Structures are given as structure tokens and as C-alpha cells.
Homo-oligomer: A and B are copies of this chain.
Amino acid sequence: MLRPLFPRASRALRIASIPTQSRLALPWQGAARSYSVQAQAASSAKPLGLDASKLSIEKTKSPGSLGKPEELVFGRKFTDHMLTIEWNEREGWLAPRIIPYQNLSLDPATCVFHYAFECFEGLKAYKDQSGNIRLFRPDRNMARLNKSAARIALPTFEPTALIELIARLVRLDERFIPEARGYSLYLRPTMIGTQKTLGVGPPGSALLYVIASPVGPYYPTGFKAISLEATDYAVRAWPGGVGDKKLGANYAPCIVPQLQAASRGHQQNLWLFGEEEYVTEVGTMNMFAAVRDRATGQKELVTAPLDGTILEGVTRDSVLSLAREKLVPEGWKVSERKYTMQKLDEASQEGRLIEAFGTGTAAVVSPVRSIAWKGKTVTCGLAETEESGEIATRMKGWIEGRQYGDEEHEWSCVVA
């Protein structure tokens, strides 16, 4: 059963031809105004009128091609078009535009370059076996983008309008969605502050844009379990900080610990928190562990709670929901609670650590073989010949089943 989630987009589209000479003067050049914004004015900014029906589309004159899907590398190739929507404090959201993929032209004083006024999302469009295009839980990404934007004084928007606009972009560039299982079109909604003054204050103008990148399976030849290094010298997030928001600010500081881990042969680092060494996240993924209770033998799938230091991952939520739906009836306990590296190590030593995996949009699930911690190697339940545990394998299957529409489910939205 196909559900037309975006009826307006399918009938209300107006094609506006943009004159050639306007290409050099990009739309947001004019919007980056040259005066400082007063705090009071910006703080009263409301999500004014992101109106999908005002969309104009300028098609590229030099269409590209998908090329060989098997040569795709994550986030390197982009489709022909991009969606751009300008906002300014005075007018609110201006008319959305789909235009040829092109550079942004920004004043070097623009606040995104200096004060990291930037947040983003990552979601995917899939082609199902009937040729329909599907988005996976886009409402979740929209809600999170609004939370991220609000936390750094960028404007919020009407979620359904942006989903509708994204659907238009995806439909226009649909030939960039490879058809094979495991392939998809990665979508990157991004919002940046565009005010071009150096005073530190709320941006008086912003640009919301969406680019799209065809991507292949994260594990083209099947799972490959990764080895982690627990990071004890750097801290990703803090209560009262912004670690639960998808801000650019949370990413650049992650690279050096990642490089440090890589220099010692580990694929990712594992973020611990506090003297207790609570397990929080894996690189840029959420972390799950499946453990057996020492006393009762009760099997438990555990992940850190949303206490402000954990990114509210959409895949994390999907894994939790699926675990409650399918594993609890099998006798599993599913917990969002704090757990320490010490406890994980004890479980490992006592043979009670069944498996561990990271979750995220890029890989769906990423099985963990071992964690280097305090000079020792904490093994995570996999036999030497295994690349994934049973839970990770089943989760990937269940989630992809819904992503690709094998199982009709409310998480998957067909693009009309």
C-alpha cells in the first residue's frame, strides 16, 4: 500500500524560470545584511511562514549522472540540484528554491565562519522494489533540526513544509538513487547563520539548504566489526552543554580523539563520561550493549539515557522501538540507563557481554569487536570469525526492511 504523504507537492508546483544572469548573484548574497541585530528583536523571532507552495525550481542545464554505484564514497558526490531557503529576521522564511547545485557565496565576516552558527541533519531516501521513493522517519529529523536551531538562536520552521520540499528535491533528482539494496540517497539539511558582522549575537539572517548525495552500503561485503579506543583525555559533552543537539560545534572537536584512536589501530573512539567512566557514544554514533545479568541471567539491551550528553539518534530510537517490539517478547529487557566501562569490562570477563554495536544513519548498526581501555582489550562477545552479533544483524534487517518498504510501516513515507 502506497501512502501519498505529500499531496500538495505533487500538484502545487510552480516552475519559476530564473534568468541566467542571476546565477552569479546568488540569492543569499542580498540577505546577509550588514547591521547588527538587537537581542530583543531576534529572540521574538517566530517560525514565520515556511511555505512549500512558494517553491520555484530552476533546473540544471548540465545534468550529471549517477555513475557506477559501486564506486560511491559517502558524501563525496552530489546530485544536480539543491534546495535553498533564506530567512531573515524581518521577513521570516522567503520563497523556497530548488536550483542547480552550486557554491555558496558568503562575505568572509559571515557569522557561520566565526561563531559556528550551523546545525544539520542526516536522513536517507530509498528506492523500494516497486520503484517508489521512500523517506525514513523524516519527522524525527525535522524535530531535531528545530531543536538544534533553537539552541543556537537560528530560526525554526514548519516541519511538514520542509519534508514536502525535500520530497520535491528527491523526486527531481531521483535518478541519483541507486536501485540496489543497501544503496540510498543521503540527504543533508543544513542551516547556517548568514549575518555578516563580527558582533557576537543572534544571526539576523540564515540560510537553510539541503544537498543530496548518493551513497552505497556502509558494509559492501557484509559487516566488519570495529575496534574502539576508550577516550579518557577528552570529553565530548557535558550536562548543560549542547552534546544532545546536532550542531557543527559537536563535530570538529571529535577529530583529534578519532585520529588518536586511529593511530593505534582503532576504527573509532569511545566517549566516556566522568570519574565513573560512563559509556556514552561511539565516535559519532550511539552505543548499545547486550549483556546478561550475573545473578538472574536476564538478557538486557542497554544504551545511555537522553540526559543531555547523548545525541538523540533516530536509529537509536528505531533500535529501542524494535527491541521493545520484538526482543521483549523473547524475554529481553530493554534499558535506557547509565552504565560504566567498568561494568562492561566485568561482563566481558565473565562472558556476560553478548555483543555491542554503534547505531547511526550512515551504517544503521556497526558491530563492535573490542574496546581498548586502560591498557587492556575488552572483547565484546564476538567469536574471532564473527563480524556481527545476532542482535545487530537482526536489527539491521528489521530496520532496512522498513526503510526499503519490504514491511509497510509508519516509519517509511512514500514520496508522492
Chain A positions within 8 Å of B, measured between CB atoms, are 24, 29, 34-36, 39-40, 42-43, 73-76, 78, 82, 101-109, 112-118, 120, 150-153, 186, 188, 190, 192-193, 197-202, 209, 211, 213, 233-235, 238-242, 247-256, 258-259, 262-263, 283-284
Contacts and interface: CB of A to CB of B under 8 A. Distances in A.
B36 A73 contact: yes
Nearest to A246: B114
Nearest to A105: B103
A24 B23 CA distance: 12
Given A36-B76, A103-B105, A200-B258, 6 more contacts: A39-B259, A78-B109, A152-B252, A188-B198, A193-B252, A249-B250
Contact of A114 (B103, B201, B242, B251): B251
A106 B113 CA distance: 11
A122 to B, nearest CB: 8
Nearest to A258: B39
Contacts of A209: 108
Given A117-B252, A252-B153, A75 B201 contact: no
Given A75-B198, A101-B108, A113-B190, A43 B253 contact: no
24 contacts: A34-B76, A36-B73, A43-B259, A76-B199, A102-B108, A103-B108, A104-B113, A105-B105, A106-B106, A108-B190, A109-B213, A112-B113, A114-B251, A115-B252, A116-B116, A116-B247, A118-B252, A152-B252, A153-B255, A198-B213, A202-B255, A202-B259, A235-B239, A248-B248
